Amino acid sequence: MKGEIKTITIQRFSVVSSESFEDVVQKLTATIGRPDISSFHTEMIAATTVGDLEELVQRSIGSSGLMEFMRFDSGEVLNKETGHKGMKILRLLIGNPIIMKEMAKFVPDAAAYAPVTILVDKRNDGVHLSYDTMSSLIAFYGSEPALKVARDLDDKIVRLLDTAAQ
């Protein structure tokens, strides 16, 4: 079997803050749940019904309706090469398994894009917050029900980034 390559156009939302990197990250993560991911995964596998899963997710998300799955401190990695602490780049993987489920039941490939990435990085002109919109990632597939869920997720993330940038 031979694979194929599809071209997907991605829209990136970006906002720049004049606040400090640390303040932006604190505001960004203040409303995102941070469960113990190992325990979360174990409980998710043990859940026998959608109701059990929804209860677990509800306990794990923050007031934003989202949770952090993982973070990568790329700035720290880059600083190892430069020998100083000047680079500040943080990649957060955030989402909500119930939201992913609602998209993936119409577009299975949506599961490849969830959880979503938020990139926070310090540059000369301020702290940049960036997000590749879920609706642009799955628009190619043409599913209106999945796009509705994706647009709602995009709105949630954009509000989160705008609030963090203030």
- The predicted-structure confidence for 57-113, as pLDDT tens digits, reads as follows 999 999 999 999 999 988 888 787 777 777 899 999 999 999 999 999 999 999 999
pLDDT confidence of residue 103? 97
CA distance 68 to 95: 7
Average confidence (pLDDT) over 4-28: 96
Mean pLDDT of 15-42: 96
pLDDT at 80 (0 to 100): 79
pLDDT of 11? 97
Residue 30 gets which letter from DSSP? T
Give the pTM: 0.91
Q: Which CATH topology does 12-34+63-165 take?
A: TATA-Binding Protein (3.30.310)
Please tell me the predicted confidence (pLDDT) of residue 59: 96
Say how far apart CA 51 and CA 115 lie, in whole Å: 21
pLDDT of residue 83: 73
Q: What is the mean pLDDT of residues 5-11?
A: 93
For the stretch 132-159, pLDDT in tens is 999 999 999 999 999 999 999 999 999 9
Domain boundary assignment for the chain: 12-34+63-165
Per-residue pLDDT, 41: 95
Element (H, E) at 150: helix 144-165
Predicted confidence (pLDDT) at residue 161 exceeds the cutoff of 90? yes
Q: What is the pLDDT of residues 14-25, one digit of tens each?
A: 999 999 999 999
Q: Where do the H-state alpha helices sit in 19-123?
A: 21-29, 37-46, 50-60, 74-82, 97-104
